[in-house]
Chains A and B, each alone.
Chain A
């Protein structure tokens, strides 16, 4: 009788766990550190702020950065450091919420399109292709034109703008996955479409979506800041990096610090998130592994 022998392979030992790979990935680690600092700053904004964000101080306008005023003051004598730490909350939140909106609706549409195919797929693909034809910023501007200005609307606008890319990614992943044997198996044992979609397909297509979302947060923060820079996002009195940058541009000749610090905030946020995204991509995405 032939025995089926299990050949010992020490594959698991050769391939390190995903976590172990992550903490050895420079991009991921460095990005995470910067982002963590930004998040901590935002979370502890009330403790870190040295002044009220909106109290004008007519006797202390354009104070350069120094000991009492870490980042100086603006044209109304408001403390930029305090506005910076509060501003981070909004900018980061815009990125996160926008991506959640984009990922949720984009993936949902993509899964449905990819799984059901036929005319549903055609219609949804047409729609996303039309949306893809617009640059993201233009799409976001159009949505803002309909919804009106405001920070919540910025989140929606940027989120809606990112739906097409998630939809495409999800759809193509589903197309690959749905032909696999275990899906046939699931169907054979009588799983409903819902079960197949969300218990069998979704977990297997999540990785590329997560990478896309991480990279997208950076873009979303930038888009949110751009909309605020244009005066469509955060309304006056709300500290937000994009609008702070915009407000300071009139004084660049005289007081660089009014614009430069919020600019650095945007820069660091996007840099860190993109580095994390790159890192995740290198490890999670099978194509780049």
Chain B
């Protein structure tokens, strides 16, 4: 009888202990919601392009080589690598202890399949084909050795490998899902896609087997968070409201006015990051009047006060820009940056020199009876904050501005039809080589058709085509500095602002840190006990 009581006591104790363990595990099993602005289109690395895709691809996939926040390269899926003297062949030794989320083992074959696909690109806008130009093949030597071969030198390839478009996919999953792979991405990264509810959210869960993170991560093994939900909240104010109501612990790009006010609140963490790469600038069309005249183009640039736009439209959270690439980018050219500063008188003088005068007193300059008219197609997702302010500056200088609000596809169509005078462009990248995507004249009618300046310069094309193959760092740097000078001297870019990533995080969020492009390492984030 007594023994029985003891037994019962032990059982009760065990039950209590077990339940407390379960309870503990639940509090460990932290999940958070992140409010992001745009829903991804495809999470296929070979098809992805824009910021939301990059952010999510980084959670689900792994690179061969990872870059730390200071851009030093570290082994990831590749343990070591060698480059031949010409910079055309890259030999990678791969890990043999990695499995994809679907159970497929990671081998050199996966590298080959991923790169072969990336070189083709699976969407028209994919960024990978431009990076893998002149790609010949990936040779599978054995399971743990792969050689990537190019016809021309690829100076930036090792850096490029750390960018989302060259992350490695499971070959079995690519075959299984075919066209729908973008909605069913399978990588080897720290998180597994578990749910994608269109127009609402994407949920990823911790990959429990993950044990191959690069060495610069602050911990090893699986991610700390069990589950992350990315809610698509297109409105900045909605994201802020979601944050304030506690619905989302982290939000991306909240409304800046409130953020500038919240910055003093101790229960809120504000993280800002000035991104390298192309600034947000208006590409100026040299083939459509009146911007075919360099004086008009220069006047456009002189007419705009970027410092004030940064303060008024972004409350200073996005720094003013004066060059086509941002100051945090490698090979930034200070001289090109100093060419233009807000000077309405200079703008007026340039316009008058070209014969644009306001003769009928309506505030708009005209020449031969034609108004000084600027067609400005705008993408509200990126330009809402400043487009009317920009137009106001141009109007003050005597321009007549017509803004047409369009979506991504509409903008491309508008630009391809050569109907624009100015069109917004920007591209976050750690290397100025992105300039070639939109300033190489080969991309005017061919290529990605995104060279909306329609500017043709043999020298600029030569630079943009040879620099990526120039192995010598100093020579490469000089080339990109010259490219910036050509672009700014010909006044084909009207810089507006550098991209600043702004994140609001709840006080309980710990371990928040930016990578080199301004994306937080979600793998490292934990929730402090409250």
Contact = CB atoms under 8 A, between A and B. Distances in A.
A235 B391 CA distance: 12
A58 B402 contact: no
A20 interface: no
Contacts of B401: 237
B402 A77 contact: no
B395 A149 contact: no
Given A58-B311, A250-B236, A236 B403 contact: yes
Contacts of B378: 236
B258 A56 contact: no
A54 interface: yes
B22 to A, nearest CB: 42
B257 interface: yes
A251 interface: yes
A149 B405 CA distance: 8
A236 B392 contact: no
Interface residues of B, number: 28
Given A58-B311, A235-B403, 20 more contacts: A54-B391, A55-B395, A55-B396, A61-B312, A75-B257, A75-B312, A76-B313, A76-B389, A76-B392, A149-B404, A150-B404, A231-B380, A235-B404, A235-B405, A236-B378, A236-B387, A236-B391, A250-B236, A254-B257, A254-B261
B237 interface: yes
Contacts of B236: 250
B312 A77 contact: yes
26 contacts: A55-B395, A56-B388, A56-B392, A58-B305, A58-B308, A75-B312, A76-B313, A76-B388, A76-B389, A77-B312, A149-B404, A231-B380, A231-B405, A235-B402, A235-B403, A235-B405, A236-B378, A236-B388, A236-B403, A237-B402, A249-B237, A250-B235, A250-B257, A251-B257, A254-B257, A254-B261
A253 interface: yes
Q: Chain A: interface secondary structure?
A: loop
B404 A54 contact: no
Q: Chain B: interface secondary structure?
A: helix
Contacts of A250: 235-237, 255, 257
Contacts of A150: 404
A77 to B, nearest CB: 7
5 shortest A-B CB distances, which residue pairs?
Answer: A56-B392, A236-B403, A58-B308, A250-B237, A236-B388
Interface string A36-61: 00000000000000000011101001
Interface string B356-396: 00000000000000000000001010000001110111011
Given A237-B388, A249-B237, A56 B404 contact: no
Interface of B: 235-237, 255, 257-258, 261, 305, 308, 311-313, 378, 380, 387-389, 391-393, 395-396, 401-406
Nearest to A238: B403
A56 B312 contact: yes
Contacts of A231: 380, 405
Most buried by A among B236, B257, B258, B403: B257
Given A54-B391, A54-B395, A250-B255, A236 B311 contact: no
B255 to A, nearest CB: 5
Interface in A215-239: 231, 235-237
Most buried by B among A55, A78, A237, A251: A237
Nearest to A249: B237
A253 B258 contact: yes
Interface in A71-87: 75-78
